[in-house]
Copies of this chain bind each other. A is one copy, B any other.
Amino acid sequence: MTNQIRRVVIVGGTHGNELTGIYLIKKFERMPKLIKRFTFESCTLLANPKASEIGRRYVDTDLNRCFQRSFLDNSSLSSYEAQRAKAIYLTFGTGGNLEADLVVDLHTTTSNMRLTIILASKHPFYLWLAAYLTYINSNVKVFYSPQKTLENPYLDSICKFGCTIEVGAVAQGVLDATLFQQTEELVHTILDYVEAYNQGTPPRVKDTLTIYQDIRTIDYPRNEVGEIQAMIHPRLQFRDYEALHPGEPLFLTFDGEEIVYEGDSTVYPVFINEAAYYEKGIAMCITQQFQEILSF
């Protein structure tokens, strides 16, 4: 069967200060039976060991922005992460010596993203998988972020199928036991789904799926030298995936002034106040909510 998933690679520590994935990978490497299924091989990968060792997001640059194919082909890039990206691609990427069919990249976030699965496409494989995950656990949310650039920079793009899991809210450098257990459960549910998919009996449990589609990002208000001038408004903090209506507060300046959302329709912000996005110029991502109809 050419459509089968023959190898799944579960990835942790793409960012070295996101401990849940790192310690889950260590657990799976200690107890490989946990991720073993009959119809495919499960591999594990600690993606950025140096960053994990020093407990930082990255050493030289964000590994999860290094997977553009032109970067991978560029032998002059010498950052630690560029080299890691190349090694990972040559191992698990398309044509690699342990080519995977599915990558599951485990992340955490300081935003209240619950158990988010990020999809870059609406391929039926993803939609049915996401529908099953939300059916098993109502805490699972589906963030659809269509590929914006010609070349995808994310680790989960290295092979045929890939998804990123974002779990939070949890501080960088911290293990939250509840979220650790929920992430592990989610990985098992994904592996079970793949097993059923390979056996030709993927569970089809819903006919609609709520999807939050990435529209654009909003940066913090900044001054002429780039310093932020306001904070996420207390009424928005931890309110990821909740409706934001025009005129409702987005930011609070350090002097206590409110800055409101000036759009003309209701939106659903996510990745609100993610620590790693201050340097990327992102205070939140704005999404629209859709009901995707699944066709059998």
Complex alpha-carbon distance, A110 and B273, angstroms: 15
**Smallest CB-CB separation from A172: which chain B residue?**
B172
A176→B272 CA distance, assembly (Å): 11
Main secondary structure of the interface of A (DSSP, over half): loop
User: Which of the candidate stretches A148-156, A263-271, A274-282 sits at the interface with the other chain?
Assistant: A274-282
Chain B, residue nearest A273 (CB): B174
A201 interface hit (Cβ, 8 Å) = no
Contacts of A55 in B (CB 8 A): 278-279
B177 with A275: CB separation less than 8 A = no
Segment from A36-44, A87-95, A211-219, A230-238 that makes contact with B? A230-238
A180 touches B275 (CB 8 A): no
Q: A252 — nearest CB in chain B belongs to which residue?
A: B177
- Give residues of chain A (228-258) contacting chain B, Cβ–Cβ below 8 Å: 228, 231-234, 237, 252, 254-256
Does A203 interact with chain B (Cβ within 8 Å)? no
**Across the interface, which residues of B come within 8 angstroms of A273, CB to CB?**
174-176
**Which residues of chain B are near A279, meaning CB under 8 Å?**
55
**Residues of A within 8 Å of B, CB-based: how many?**
35
Q: Give the chain B neighbours of A231 by CB distance below 8 A.
A: 23, 175-177, 180
User: Which of B171, B232, B233, B276 has a CB less than 8 Å from the CB of A275?
Assistant: B171
Please state if B234 and A110 are interface contacts (CB–CB under 8 Å): no
Q: Which residues of B contact A110 (CB under 8 A)?
A: 171, 173-174
Check B175–A232 contact: CB distance below 8 A.
yes
Q: Is the CB of B237 within 8 A of A173?
A: no
Most chain B CB within 10 A, of A56, A170, A275, is at A275
Asked whether A178 is an interface residue with its Cβ less than 8 Å from the other chain, the reply is: yes
Could you list 26 A-B pairs, sorted by A, with CB under 8 Å?
A23-B228, A23-B231, A26-B254, A31-B255, A55-B278, A55-B279, A56-B56, A169-B171, A170-B171, A171-B174, A171-B275, A172-B173, A172-B275, A173-B278, A174-B275, A175-B232, A175-B273, A176-B231, A176-B232, A177-B232, A177-B233, A177-B237, A177-B252, A180-B231, A180-B254, A181-B256
- Which residues of A are interface residues toward B (Cβ below 8 A)? 23, 26-27, 31, 55-56, 110, 169-178, 180-181, 227-228, 231-234, 237, 252, 254-256, 273, 275-276, 278-279
Besides the known contacts A55-B278, A174-B273, A176-B232, 15 further A-B residue pairs in the complex with CB atoms under 8 A apart: A23-B254, A26-B227, A26-B254, A27-B254, A55-B279, A110-B171, A169-B171, A173-B276, A173-B278, A175-B228, A177-B232, A177-B233, A177-B252, A180-B231, A181-B256
